Every structure is written in C-alpha cells, then in structure tokens.
Amino acid sequence: MSASADQPKVPRHVAVIMDGNGRWAEKRGRPRLFGHRAGAESLRAVLRACRDHGVEYLTVYAFSTENWVRPADEVSGLMSLLKTFLKKDEHELHENQVRLLATGRLQDLPDSVREELERVIAATRDYRKGNLILALSYGGRAEIADAVRAIAAKVRAGQLDPETIDEKSIAAHLYLPDVPDPDFLIRTSGELRLSNFLLWQLSYAEFYFTETLWPDFREAEFAEALAEYARRHRRYGAHA
Ligand code: FPP
C-alpha cells in the first residue's frame, strides 16, 4: 500500500514495552505492585484503542526472561495479576473477537498461569478482529537460540539441508511464525533501549519513545503515538 498526504497510515502491528510501573508507584509512595495493577488498566485501554484505530496486532512485553530475578513477591504478584487479567478480561476478548496469543518460554510459567493462558488461547483461537500477544518469560536472544536449536535438530535428523537455511526458514522457527512483524514499537518511561524485545522481528519497525510512565499511557497517549507514526509515513512512506 502506498502512503500519501491524505491517507494516514495505521500500523498493522504495534509492539509495546510497558515500562515505568515501579516508578509510577514509588512517586505515590505505594508498592510496585500498585503500579503494575495500574499498568494492567493501561493495557486494557490500549487494547480498546487498537480496536478503535484498526490496529490488528498488539504485542506487549508483560514479563521478560530477566524479570524472574525480581523480588519473589513482585514476581508472584505479577503472575497473579496475569491470572486475574486472563479471568476478568476473557469476556472482553470474546465480545470483540480478539484472539489471544503468547510468545516466550511459556514452559517457565507456574502451572496455574500456563493452564489459564492455554485455556484462553484455545477459547479465542478462531477470532480475527484483533490479536493480543502477551510476551511472557520472553527474551529475544532466547527466542533466536530456541529457533537455532530447533533448526539444528532438524539438520541432525536429516530433515533439513543446512544449505537451504535462509531468513525465511529462520523466521519460520520463531515462536509465532504466522504473526507479521511489528510496524511500530512504543516504549514508555523515557528509557531508550530495546531490552531484548523482539530482536529479529523489529528489524524494520519505527520506534517511538515517550517520557510518559506506562500507567499514565492511555487512549490519548496512544492516539498521539499513532499520529506520529502517520506523520513519519506521510514524509517517508513513498520512499520506503
Ligand atoms: C516494567 O515496569 C513493567 C513490567 C516488568 C511488567 C509489565 C506488566 C504489566 C503492565 C502488568 C499487566 C500485564 C498483564 C498481562 C496483566 P517496571 O516495573 O520495570 O517499572 P520501573 O522501570 O519504573 O521500575
């Protein structure tokens, strides 16, 4: 599709590093989990905004492979927040026909969380009006390492000729090979890093950084980010 001045472009896939929950809570003298709970509200708001703006895929960095070393009470608080989200918001996924997917080393999640996750993924698998992808126990290098291991196993089994390995076959061994690459990455809270998020998939994405802390990032802030994406495409889209 070509972009032109009167044709604002909406990204098909938005990826978000939801950063700043801890600082948001600390500023209010409250425990970090209070910030994560407010962050879950932002996720709900942004998911609705995706539907309103016509964004088909939303991937959020909900828990990284590095997050396991956080204090045990914060990790268990995040896990129970995730379970609550899966239980409380499932109806909204059904109402809006949003498919839930997950990416990451899901085998590392506590059984009760993984079972709930798998249940909602199965219950929403036929929906296509929107796609919510939770990155859980996710690391970009871990994902690439897992893909390399799977490819090496096929080579050893004589199912794959090493000479045929190319970008396409590597991408086919990532966790969610059928999901299109993100067009737009948003990171909140003023940090200017990728933090091991979707290293392969973000190769051509536009990046957007904002000082706003994630719990304060709601519909208006999301609309502002999309407007910036559209501006970049109006300027450069024709030459992309
Ligand atoms: C980063 O903020 C955020 C996380 C590590 C977790 C993100 C989780 C949520 C937004 C909870 C909702 C998710 C679901 C799926 C229900 P931080 O703690 O690193 O903040 P800081 O940098 O200010 O300390």
143: phi then psi, degrees, rounded to nearest 5: -65, -45
pTM of the entire structure? 0.94
| In a domain? residue 5 | no
- Residues 28-67 have pLDDT tens digits of 999 999 999 999 999 999 999 999 999 999 999 999 999 9
| In a domain? residue 127 | yes
181 counts as catalytic: no
Q: Which pLDDT does position 101 carry in this prediction?
A: 98
Are 210 and 217 spatial neighbours (Cβ–Cβ below 8 Å)?
Answer: yes
> What number is the average pLDDT over the span 106-130?
98
- Residues 82-113 have pLDDT tens digits of 999 999 999 999 999 999 999 999 999 999 99
| In a domain? residue 238 | no
Q: From the alpha carbon of 81, which atom of ligand 1 is closest?
A: 16
Question: What is the rounded CA–CA span in Å between residue 205 and residue 228?
Answer: 13
Work out the pLDDT band at 233, boundaries 50, 70, 90.
confident
67 counts as catalytic: yes
| Ligand 1 in reach of 80 Cβ (< 6 A) | no
For residue 62, what are the domain limits?
13-139+180-231
Q: Which amino acid is at 42?
A: S
* Helices of type H across the chain: 21-27, 32-53, 72-88, 90-96, 111-123, 140-156, 167-171, 219-236
User: Above 70 in pLDDT, residue 217?
Assistant: yes
Q: Encoding tokens for residue 157?
A: 């089994």
| Catalytic site residue from 6, 21, 67, 161 | 67
DSSP 130-154: EEEEEEEEE-HHHHHHHHHHHHHHH
| In a domain? residue 110 | yes
- Report the CATH number at residue 38: 3.40.1180.10
| Ligand 1 in reach of 36 Cβ (< 6 A) | yes
What sign for the dihedral angle of Cα 178, 171, 78, 39?
negative
Q: Which pLDDT does position 7 carry in this prediction?
A: 54
